Amino acid sequence: MAITKESFGMTKNGEAATLYTMENANGMKVAVTDFGANIVKILVPDRNQEFADVALGYASVEGYEKNSPGYGSLIGRHANRIGGAKFVINGKEYELEKNDNGNNLHSGSKSFNKYMYEAELAEGEESDSIEFSRTSPDMEQGFPGNLNLSVKYTLTDDNELILEYYAVSDQDTIINLTNHSYFNLAGHNSGDILDHTVTIYADLFTPTSDDLIPTGEIAEVEGTPMDFREPKKIGRDIEADYYPLKQGGGYDHNYCLNKEDDEIALAAELSDEKSGRYMLVYTDLPGIQFYTGNFIDGTEIGKDGMCYQKRGGVCFETQYFPNSCNRPNFPSCVFKAGEEYCTATIYKFGCR
């Protein structure tokens, strides 16, 4: 296997960004950049061995400096929403940027997808890896503690893209990292994903208030449009007269996965009947945000001159539940000083 690198442009601060591309024995390619540790391209074959890029994104670093949808993004220090943009640790209240209806979304307007990272490359016979790392200083984005963090992207000959997250802080803090890639298995420039079929291995989800903050309730998916325990096309129920779907403008909900604590298990499946491509999602985290690109506004030009439209891609963001730092009944994302945060997510691609 091999890793190639090329210029990805200059940031507005004069930093030179690099694009690193891994290719496996099957011809699958994954390209990532040291600006924001963003996933830029994922090229996989269809049933006729025709390759397509199935990840929405931009052609150069300039697009990723804006990137309001979060294409391909490493999100942190806390992914998803925190109610009231505040939380308490050890009796001290911390206030965050209110960038989403009075709440905090993805840690603020500058999430971890907009910082430069150090890159370390490792080439092997059956896999290649690129590890991005940096230190998030105490009170960056409003969070306590100097946080040493890294994300390692590994491409295997089994067409697996493995994401391994590591972080440790010198103070008690909250940590909830994810990747915000938007997938379209027909190709990033092929239109909406409503005909894609999804399975989510979850009996429960977390309903929200109108500002999309979980209420604390954990509800059954059975008998509702939220039920993806059996394969179902995204478009079948997305416009149903069901209040949670109206709140999010479609699917934008956390699912509570049917799995034991800390085990890596199959969480979701995505497939495209026309191309034959499918993707399996594995994680050791307790939740997954299923998001159908409801807020893509059609104003930004992506790769190949594509102007992405509403529901042009779908996200599977593995995570601790949104606002878990303020909900004692949710699995906790609070980590003590010196306690290691280590999680993994796998996107495995194939065709049938």
Residue 65 region, left (φ>0) first, then alpha (ψ -120 to 50), else beta?
alpha
Residue 62 belongs to what H/E stretch?
helix 61-66
How confident is the chain (352 residues) per 10-residue block, as mean pLDDT? Answer: 93 97 97 98 97 98 96 98 98 98 97 98 93 98 98 98 98 98 98 98 97 97 98 98 96 95 94 98 98 93 95 98 97 97 98 96
pTM: 0.97
For residue 78, indicate whether it is catalytic.
no
Instruction: Specify the residue for token string 């606002």.
Output: 323
Q: Which of 134, 180, 92, 147 is nearest to 341 (CA)?
A: 147
Q: What is the pLDDT of residue 261?
A: 79
Nearest to 317 by CA among 185, 163, 170, 174: 163
Q: Which of 78, 106, 180, 188 is catalytic?
A: 180
- Tell me the C-alpha distance between 52 and 47, whole Å: 11
Domains in the chain, start-ordered, CATH in brackets? 2-351 (2.70.98.10)
Centre a 10 Å sphere on the Cβ of residue 246 and count the other Cβ atoms it contains. Answer: 12
Q: What is the pLDDT of residue 91?
A: 97
Residues 324, 203, 158: CA angle, nearest 5 degrees: 90
Helix (H, G, I), strand (E, B) or coil at 300: coil
CA distances from 68 to 32, 42, 150, 213, 236 (A): 18, 20, 23, 20, 27
Q: What is the pLDDT of residue 262?
A: 83
Q: Among 204, 184, 194, 219, which Cα is nearest to 306's?
A: 184
pLDDT of residue 125: 86
State the burial class of residue 204 (Cβ atoms within 10 Å of its Cβ: 0-12, 13-18, 19+): middle
Pick the catalytic residue: 131, 140, 160, 317?
Answer: 317
**pLDDT at residue 316, rounded to an integer:** 98
List of residues 6+ apart from 322 with CB closer than 8 A:
80, 81, 82, 206, 208, 212, 213, 214, 254, 289
Lookup: tokens for 130: 């690129």
Rg for the chain (alpha carbons), in Å? 19
What's the order of all strands across the beta sheet hosting 51-53? 2-10, 16-23, 29-33, 39-45, 51-53
- pLDDT of res. 101: 94
**Would you call 196 a catalytic residue per the annotation?**
no
